[in-house]
A and B are shown apart, each in its own frame.
Chain A
């Protein structure tokens, strides 16, 4: 029994893992956990990750949660090419810096936009009032500005001249608001170029494949969601937004 990765490609961190592992030819068994069907809440999955979140890793008896931790584990175990997580102290610190900052910024704001634009109307039957939606988009715009000015600057990639974990983690998060209908790359040529470079670095075909599900998210209808989930989700969303 080899490495198992528990994934739902609708989730950004799952896509980062999928792309990284496939791009580096890391052998793993893809264990699909359908979030829409509530499969992350089953007893079976709970044994893999008691926090009931994807992605999760199972390597023999060793289980691990949190995509960043899993990415770093794979880097070490499979000794992937240096540029993914550079051994140079300062370059590595730049990657760590981004991976740390992104949780509360790009990831949080991008997810919020996706949840309010796609999931909220789907589950509650009503969109968010336009001013609130506008506010959420503005928050993401602030994070994008910080991303361009502090992390990317005029370099081809976050850590410098080569792609690293930071770029994959960043790009998959940005695809979430894009797939929700906010083309944030449109008026940001620098980001657009960076995106093209990252896609090329990991493989365009692989990138497209990983994003197939999320790109079709607008086809998701309420009846496709597990009923138990609906009520729970509804409460959560209404409370938050």
Chain B
């Protein structure tokens, strides 16, 4: 299976989950998703696998033990922090109303944004600090994993970069490092996510998924 250049993987099964893996090598990489790969929390594992199999440039996952540890540290922390909140903005503002036909109370979004704010503070203070990228002067998998998650609130109108100049600068550097064109290609769907609100969803599918989606927010 050839992954399209914009690298969006649709996961079938109980949850419709949209995420993406920008392929910064700028070429198509033959890619097989195991038939059991229903959950995209594997994306870290997939990134590591690809970087090893294709011998990508060292800075993505440095061989230097301390630099590598910094990448691992971020990739680990990311799950319970940025990743716990950032995607919810998309669910709350677009996907859940799409499937349930109802908007969600604004307190829900407020709650999520507060959680995200705390994580962003820690991200700036502990992981990014005054460096160009998370591990120092070069981009790594950590920056990639972080940025794609943070683009989700941006896509639904919660511009978390607006009042955060340091993060804004970092984002610009990440975009430059992967290539602006590829970056925007990968984020095309996310940045136009509101268009999803106009699509018709099969009513049976709606019925099936609505309770699952509501549970996700608990």
Q: B-contacting residues of A (Cβ < 8 Å)?
A: 50-51, 62, 64-70, 72-73, 76-77, 89, 92-93, 96-97, 99-101, 103-105, 108, 150
Contacts and interface: CB of A to CB of B under 8 A. Distances in A.
Interface stretch (B76-84, B132-140, B155-163, B171-179): B76-84
A35 to B, nearest CB: 17
A25 B122 CA distance: 34
Contact of B72 (A72, A105, A108): A72
Across chains A and B, which 10 residue pairs bring their CB atoms closest together, nearest first? A103-B79, A69-B72, A96-B45, A66-B76, A69-B73, A97-B45, A68-B76, A100-B44, A93-B49, A73-B69
> What class of interface size applies to chain B in its complex with A?
20 to 34
SS class of chain A's interface: helix, strand, loop or mixed?
Answer: helix
A89 B52 CA distance: 8
Given A69-B72, A72-B72, A101-B42, A96 B77 contact: no
Contact of B80 (A69, A76, A77, A108): A108
B104 to A, nearest CB: 18
Contacts of A51: 77, 122, 126
B168 to A, nearest CB: 23
Given A50-B126, A100-B41, A101-B39, A65 B66 contact: no
A104 B42 CA distance: 11
Most-contacted residue by chain B among A65, A100, A108 (CB, 10 A): A100
Contacts of B76: 66-69, 103
Given A73-B69, A77-B65, A89-B53, A66 B77 contact: yes
B68 interface: yes
Given A96-B48, A103-B79, A150-B36, A72 B69 contact: yes
Interface in B145-192: none
B167 to A, nearest CB: 18
A50 B77 CA distance: 13
Contacts of A70: 69
Given A68-B72, A103-B41, 16 more contacts: A50-B125, A51-B122, A65-B77, A66-B72, A66-B73, A70-B69, A72-B72, A76-B68, A89-B53, A92-B52, A96-B48, A100-B75, A100-B79, A103-B80, A105-B41, A108-B80
B215 to A, nearest CB: 9
Contacts of B69: 62, 64, 69-70, 72-73
Interface in B35-76: 36, 39, 41-46, 48-49, 52-53, 65-66, 68-69, 72-73, 75-76
Contacts of B41: 100-101, 103-105
A62 B67 CA distance: 11
A76 B68 CA distance: 10
A33 B72 CA distance: 23
A100 B53 contact: no
A164 to B, nearest CB: 13
A99 B83 CA distance: 15
A104 B43 CA distance: 13
A77 B41 CA distance: 27
Interface string B21-46: 00000000000000010010111111
A64 B73 contact: yes
Contacts of B42: 97, 100-101
Contacts of A76: 65, 68
30 contacts: A62-B66, A62-B69, A64-B69, A66-B77, A68-B72, A69-B69, A69-B75, A70-B69, A72-B68, A72-B69, A72-B72, A73-B65, A73-B69, A73-B72, A89-B49, A89-B53, A92-B49, A93-B45, A93-B48, A96-B44, A96-B48, A100-B44, A100-B45, A100-B79, A101-B41, A103-B41, A104-B41, A104-B80, A104-B83, A150-B36
Contacts of B48: 92-93, 96
A134 to B, nearest CB: 14
B15 to A, nearest CB: 12
B79 to A, nearest CB: 4
A115 to B, nearest CB: 14
A101 B83 CA distance: 12
A99 B39 CA distance: 13
Contacts of B49: 89, 92-93, 96
B186 to A, nearest CB: 20
